[in-house]
Amino acid sequence: VWGDPIGHSLSPAMHTAAYALLGWDWTYGRRRVDEASFADELASLGPEHRGLSLTMPLKHVAYAVAAQHDARATLTGAANTLVRSGSGWYAFNTDAGGIVAALAEAGVVAADRARIVGAGATASAALVALSEIGVRQVWIAARRPAAAAPLRDLGERLRLRVDAVPLDSPTHASVDVTIATLPGGVSVDESVADRLAAAGGTLLDVVYGHWPTDLSRAWDRIGAPAQGGAGMLLHQAVLQIRAFASGGVDQPLPREDEVVAVMRRALVGD
């Protein structure tokens, strides 16, 4: 897994646990790589490297370098997975699928109205995921609503209505589910968080290293369901391993239920 910073990544523990269970003689490590060094680092890889996981800030440059893209990567313009394909690379976005699976674990398999908090890189994957569970109306709550313009364009391609509203709006429309995509450590004023929670349905906060968040505390104050980003991290990694193994994300792994269980234990350090 490459990114900058990268020392905090839990991906090596999860992947290593999965490979051990499956009896695969594979290794998975981490490397600090920024945008400026990405091209040289990629060119240096030998044929023994099957693929890469990419985190920030590399998801857009990874997309750009690939000769082929899966549907989710094409929609978002971002890739968190590269797999060797002939002499080039095949790009996947497994974040969207990870969000779909994490929502299902939270009991949300279908919804009509949703909110995304934040308009950064993860918001596009969240929008794709919401379209896949049948959502037709999405509000983007952002500190700078103008930053949501690319998400409105993506919404048109997905046949979703997407509206942008200020994060500190005095009122928010009632929704079935809220996906928070703010980076870990970003603070949200308590009164703003409480307004979002009051009309927010189930919360999926993609943060996994800074828990609880200001938003999850607001959901907790009213007794509403809230889930952190560990489930998304787990399930996007399962899809990555599928891609490394078969060149696609649709073919389940051998003993996949056991793989998921051992990866979940690695994620929590058990």
Which residue out of 15, 59, 115, 152 is catalytically annotated? Answer: 59
101 is catalytic: no
The beta strand positions in the chain, using DSSP E, are 2-3, 31-32, 51-53, 68-69, 81-85, 88-92, 113-117, 137-142, 161-166, 177-180, 202-205, 226-227
Q: Which of 126, 83, 43, 55 lies closest to 251 in space, CA to CA?
A: 83
pTM of the model: 0.96
Cis peptide before 150 (omega within 30 of 0): no
What residue has token string 């974040």?
95
Query: Over the Cα atoms of the chain, what is R_g?
Result: 18
What residue has token string 């981490």?
30
The beta strand positions in 177-270, using DSSP E, are 177-180, 202-205, 226-227
Query: Tens of pLDDT along the chain (270 residues)?
Result: 999 999 989 999 999 999 999 999 999 999 999 999 999 999 999 999 999 999 999 999 999 999 999 999 999 999 999 999 988 999 999 999 999 999 999 999 999 999 999 998 899 999 999 999 999 999 999 999 999 999 999 999 999 999 999 999 999 999 999 999 998 778 999 999 999 999 999 999 998 877 899 999 999 999 999 999 999 999 999 999 999 999 999 999 999 999 999 999 999 876
